[in-house]
Amino acid sequence: GVSIENSTTQNTTVTFNSAGTFTITLTATNGTGSNSTTQVIVVNAEPTVTVTPNPVTLCSGTSTNLTATGATSYTWSPATGLTCTNCAVTTASPTVTTTYTVIGVNGTCDDTVTVPVTVAAAITAGATATSTVICSGSSTTLTASPSGFQYLWSDNSIGSTLNVNAAGNYSLIVGNGTCSLSAVSVSVTQNLAPATPSAIVSSDTVCSGIANINVSVTNDPLATTYNWTLPNGWNITGGNNTNSI
């Protein structure tokens, strides 16, 4: 509606309590008669602008649509990272955390809303092993990095460490629940244990007074060295650490 502060004075204040088109009539009167004039006044509704989503968290390198409603026209700023600055819907892809402002206008009235867009840092996954080469029956521990994130190993375990006892290529995915994931892999090699040595074979009859004899075992391709233990007083004169001495 409309309220008039003083309806009988030449100058007064008119208050418009709602939007619409109003006709104001002024009538001047004296002793000989009266005369009137009218004025049409358009009152615009005060806009209430909303933006969705608001606030926003983006992963580095991604984008999101920002949608403004509640007015008839819009102006966005700053323009950096926006596809449109005078649209109701604009796509934001800032490279750094940015607070956008949108002004919504309805006629001569306006409303302003701010939209903080946080850009999360990219994740670079890493994995290290206490040893990338293990022996048969032993294990190694794989540790994920960086710390404080969510982890998924190739065996579907989710801890920051993984204990493995077999050769293989172990993959890791690192994420934070919001951003795109980063993957890495680590390779573990396992050396098999050599078989139990075969029976020791001597090429000579052991008799008192013989200065040297040759003894050997069948060579095992998995064995890299041999450790012989002799009776007290005996010495290895050749072939030490091999399968034949």
Q: What is the pLDDT at residue 52?
A: 97
Amino acid, res. 131? S
Query: Model's pTM, two decimal places?
Result: 0.54
Euclidean distance between CA atoms 110 and 104, whole angstroms: 5
Measuring CA to CA, how many Å separate 182 from each of 57, 144, 174? 18, 12, 5
Neighbours of 75 (CB within 10 A): 16
CA–CA separation, 82 vs 76, rounded Å? 8
Which residues partner with 184 through β-bridges?
172
Q: Which residues pair with 77 in a beta bridge?
A: 101
Residues 216, 228: Cα–Cα separation, whole Å: 10
Q: Which tokens belong to 139?
A: 């294990």
Segments of the chain assigned E as strands = 2-4, 14-16, 20-30, 33-43, 50-52, 56-59, 64-69, 73-77, 89-92, 98-106, 109-120, 126-129, 133-135, 140-145, 150-153, 161-164, 168-175, 182-191, 201-202, 215-216
CB 112 within 8 A of CB 101: yes
Per-residue pLDDT of the chain (245 residues; tens, 9 = 90+): 777 777 788 888 888 888 888 888 888 888 888 899 998 988 887 899 999 999 999 888 889 999 999 999 999 999 999 999 999 999 999 999 999 999 999 988 899 999 999 998 778 889 999 999 888 788 999 999 988 889 999 999 999 999 999 889 999 999 877 775 788 888 888 877 777 777 777 766 666 666 677 777 777 777 778 888 877 877 777 777 776 76
- DSSP notation for 155-224: TS--SSEEEE-S-EEEEEEEE-SSSPPEEEEEEEEEEPPPPPP---EESS---TT-----EE----TT-S
What pLDDT, on a 0 to 100 scale, did the predictor assign at position 245?
61
Chain-centre distance for alpha carbon 20: 50
Q: What is the pLDDT of residue 214?
A: 78
The CB density around residue 175, as the number of other CB atoms within 10 Å, is: 17
The pLDDT score that the predictor gives to residue 203 is 64
Q: What is the pLDDT of residue 207?
A: 64
What pLDDT sits at residue 68? 97
Predicted confidence at residue 243, as pLDDT, reads 67
